[in-house]
Amino acid sequence: MNEMISGVGEPVVTDATKGGGSNAARIAEVKAWLAAQFNAAGKEVPDFEYTPRSIAHLYNLATVSQAKTQAANIVANDFRQKAAEYRSQAARIREILENVGLAQESLPSNVVASAQVLANVANLLNIRDTELSSFLVAMGDISLRKTGVDEERAKVHKESKTLLEYTRKAIARLTYLKRTLAQLEDDVAPCDAQMENWKTNLGVMASKERQYMQQYNNYKALLNRVGYTPEINHGVLVEMAEHRKDLEKKTKPILDTLRSYQDLPPVS
Q: What is the pLDDT of residues 29-42, one digit of tens each?
A: 888 888 888 888 88
C-alpha angle 242-247-249 in degrees, rounded to nearest 5: 95
Q: Which residues are CB-contacts of 3 (< 8 A; sequence separation ≥ 6)?
A: 37, 61, 64, 65, 68, 69
Q: What is the mean pLDDT of the chain?
A: 84
Task: Find out whether 8 and 61 touch, Cβ atoms under 8 Å.
Answer: yes
Task: Find out whether 30 and 58 touch, Cβ atoms under 8 Å.
Answer: yes
Q: What is the pLDDT of residues 213-243, one digit of tens each?
A: 999 999 888 888 877 777 777 788 788 889 9
pLDDT for 106 equals 77
Read off the pLDDT band of 266 (50, 70, 90): low
pLDDT for 174 equals 96
pLDDT for 37 equals 87
CA distance 58 to 50: 10
CA distance 102 to 96: 8
Helix (H, G, I), strand (E, B) or coil at 116: helix
**pLDDT over 90 for what percent of the chain?**
37
Task: Find out whether 138 and 127 touch, Cβ atoms under 8 Å.
Answer: yes
CA distance 28 to 262: 154
Kindly state the helix (H) or strand (E) to which residue 256 belongs, with its residue range.
Answer: helix 234-262
pTM: 0.37
**pLDDT over 70 for what percent of the chain?**
90
Residue 8 predicted with pLDDT over 50: no
Is the Cα torsion angle 35, 38, 43, 46 positive or negative in sign? negative
Task: Find out whether 10 and 60 touch, Cβ atoms under 8 Å.
Answer: yes
Residue 1 DSSP class: -
Task: Find out whether 20 and 29 touch, Cβ atoms under 8 Å.
Answer: no
* 125: number of Cβ within 10 Å: 15
Domain boundaries, the chain: 2-109
